[in-house]
Chains A and B, each alone.
Chain A
């Protein structure tokens, strides 16, 4: 083919769409330094550039430049400090949120423990009240007429157990606890549980479960080591004779 015959094929050739025959001819002309074909190719490249530049304008997202420049190890000048500031703010926020979270967790644990204690106290009071509502419950007072000894009442219910309500209990030394005893008539004391008094010296303690009220001779309270004792080791501070 002569150059003139190839003239219309340069645009398609330069975008990779020329037919095989035309492509071979153009390359042969260029390879032998054909000046006409070189000019035609340049002109075709220009036409193509102008065509491609006329695509509808679209604005790329700002992140695209950052992404591309990061690939070349080039950061945007003047924005490094802003990134550092943002990172510092995020770190500070993370620490603050962590502290808040820890504080909230502690509060939650505390609230949960308080709730458990409140529920236990409520159950204990309900059990105590159930003693008082039963007609078969027997009440024995102790400490009456004495100026400063513990005072209170013992309630015995054959079906529910034994309830102790006491006041004026003396403060306990460290490592000590109160222990309640049930003492059958003519028998040895049996442990009826450990308890602590409140700050004002009051206490409420329940021995749950059926008891043989007829054979029960007395209910007593003594001060014992924290783990409790098999038998009273000190003189009882409360003795309620039934």
Chain B
């Protein structure tokens, strides 16, 4: 009884830490200044960005590639890419966190696809979706700790099939056709799972914004 209680407490503490960390990492109060320094090629800003987003990027990449050594290489690649593409970022508004996470995820997915000999054609899509100008238009309130909590809550409410396809999409980079093959299910069924899962997540977040 005591042990179970302690485990629950530890889970809560871990979740608390993750949320606090996320909140610190995704705050955007001074991001416009960071973007400005990034665009003016101030290399010291990379140290601030690493402190703020390095752990999130590493956690995400490790989740995808499941290899510590490869994850380190890919985090380095991610920050190098951020540095090289910063010129296209709109310095009036900033959403560096989502952009860095997108780049990190795409580097990891690209690595896994290459390692597994999977389709390289969609590397173009990945590259296109790393365009920093897309993220410059993201509103500050769109990525907040409250919305993160709501999203986690919504993910827990998904059915096992829905949760599986969401994980396959975000963390393994599988297209719906690939998911259907992997899960040995009709493509139409997989598409329904994906669409309903994303809709559920979106609605939960929309309620948060409205509230």
Which residues on A are within 8 Å of B, measured CB to CB? 8, 11-19, 23, 38, 41-43, 45-61, 64-65, 67-69, 71-74, 76
Contact = CB atoms under 8 A, between A and B. Distances in A.
A69 B143 contact: no
Interface residues of B, number: 72
A52 B102 contact: yes
A8 B198 contact: yes
A14 B147 contact: no
A56 B106 contact: no
B41 to A, nearest CB: 10
Contacts of A65: 47, 50-51, 54
B63 A55 contact: yes
Contacts of A47: 151, 198, 201-202, 205
B101 interface: yes
A149 B82 CA distance: 100
Interface of B: 14, 17-18, 21-22, 25-26, 43-44, 46-47, 50-51, 54-56, 58-60, 62-64, 68, 71-72, 75-76, 79-80, 83, 95, 97-98, 101-102, 104-106, 109, 122, 125-126, 128-129, 134-135, 137-139, 142-143, 147-148, 151-152, 155, 166, 169-171, 173-176, 194-195, 198-199, 201-202, 205-206
B152 to A, nearest CB: 6
A159 B166 CA distance: 102
A8 B46 CA distance: 35
A57 B97 CA distance: 16
A60 B76 contact: no
A42 B137 contact: yes
Contacts of B95: 45, 49
Contact of B122 (A14, A16, A61, A76): A16
A16 B173 contact: yes
Given A56-B59, A57-B59, A64-B54, A15 B129 contact: yes
Nearest to A61: B72
Contacts of A14: 102, 129, 134
A27 to B, nearest CB: 9
A61 B139 CA distance: 32
A64 B76 contact: yes
Contact of A51 (B80, B83, B166, B195): B166
Contact of B138 (A45, A52, A64, A69): A45
A74 B42 CA distance: 10
What are the 6 A-B residue pairs with the smallest beta carbon separation, nearest first?
A: A16-B125, A49-B98, A46-B142, A60-B58, A55-B63, A72-B43
Contact of A46 (B44, B128, B143): B143
Given A8-B195, A43-B202, A57 B102 contact: no
A59 B205 contact: no
Given A49-B143, A55-B60, A17 B171 contact: no
B125 A46 contact: no
Contacts of B198: 8, 11-12, 47
B48 to A, nearest CB: 10
5 contacts: A12-B176, A45-B95, A54-B155, A55-B63, A57-B14
Contacts of A56: 59, 63
Contacts of A8: 195, 198-199
Given A58-B62, A64-B58, A71-B80, A52 B170 contact: yes
A7 to B, nearest CB: 8
